[in-house]
Structure 1
């Protein structure tokens, strides 16, 4: 069997013919003869058998062949570009094993970065890049966040349906690796739905809620209730559960769990983790209106043993949701600030009051400084006289 072709200083037609010969030598059903229809037809036939190169024992040889195909692909105008790009991407996702999958990923990523920024083909390549990256644990190398993803397609935005498909695969990959980022992706997915089609996003909305509830670092859940697909779930158990985490106390969750144990477990949620999160959220709610919370109130309201109170407060402080100081001697927690569980009209009014007071203080300080400056100026003039 002959080795992989070398394409230094060959024309595109010659490269294509060498690739034909190479793939035929590996047993692929392809003619060695050049296509009378031109280089694009040659490329279609080569792409149709390109996954045969995965038989090569040396990953470097596979990479050289795939990169040769990419170099031809980005060097010619493609009248049937979408079908060709899709076929090539799908072939590469068939790469067996982690090593060859990584080689395929690198070649596909090279193709993606060599396509024009306004090319609609970039979306199709990127989708399969994510699939391959997921297989080799390298998703964070190609996806760092929703904002970065929007910038990638700023010059040629995909359709809503295409972005929804991409967000779903990203969420599936990230949910076990980075639950916080997965939740952001799912929220972005739900935001692509309108009033007209929000009712069709039921499955996505449920996944979004479950991901957010299960994420140990997500505590601000109120924004989910405003998402159109989530609003369509009102009256269902999953929406009731979300509402409890948004604004109700630990006792409400316990009653819900008592009546709907099977439902909670069917969603893949862990009851003990739910209890832990609800205790943190309930403490946040207590801290909103109580600058000083006694240990007795904590044990009663959050159903924590007295010997576990200090450990619980340490966990609260680690989240940075609440800024507080423990006074073990007085058996109280003194709260200096807390994040609000919900941010509605009362919170906006409170913020307005704080900002008005701040503005008044700044105005007073400004007037005081003017008075001091005027006094100093008058004193200086008197001294001259």
Structure 2
């Protein structure tokens, strides 16, 4: 009989977006691969998909239902290893696996970014921090993708649990890579942009955490000084309409363009000059890694996740959260110095190799083999 592994996450899209290489690895190692999540999407490299109604809110009584369903699955299937993802699904999974661990099942949890972090709202600390510390006892290993999370959980979590820091969940450098200037100009022509324009790209969902409003307001008073600037917002989300209204109010339609969700995001990155982000916090932002792999320097807010990627003054600049003056000064400096952009882009490209999927998968394979 084949040994079995189970991956859990709140929704199937999370597994599709981040974990296919890891599901594939287990298949190639001869394991029967199961997943538990919500969503109708088909997930490759899986033998069995269990529908579990995970709930994202920490205060929902729906967790009782998901716990009972998942506990029954775990007891029947007798997994060798369970790898859980996303905050509430991981908490439910760890508790539901308590008895299975007594009979040899190993439980691994990847934290893609704790909800408690330096500068997080007090409610986050009061809600998620004690839960994560308490449930750390129900994992054989907790894996983090940034230094802040690793240092905090390894110091405050259960002392018998193993803690690991890996270089993110990995980015495919076959899709995100360098192109020549001629290829870059060709892409711009195809997508309706000129060679003279200075293109800054922000690929992010329109939610409060991503803080698009900061960028719009920061640019508003300096548009005359940045006549060739184009800021491209790629993504969708509940605040998109609100941001479109704000752009009109600030008369920035000639500078800010809303590109929507893009299947050609790699080409958008490759034709750009600069990657930007004003996000209030991240686990480890994949969009910035992808941009770095395309040779873009990065201008981003200081904070968890960003600090792990950008070498300030070498591969880009880090500005203080909410500091519009500092952001604009860095933007102007990069706008006026193409040679500096090129050099920083080269440095960013060099740093990005650390976050390739092959490196992340290699480190995860070592962790997996430690427990199975």
Scaled by the length of structure 2, the TM-score of the pair is 0.23
Larger % of strand: which? 2
More helix by share: 1
Higher CA-based Rg: 1
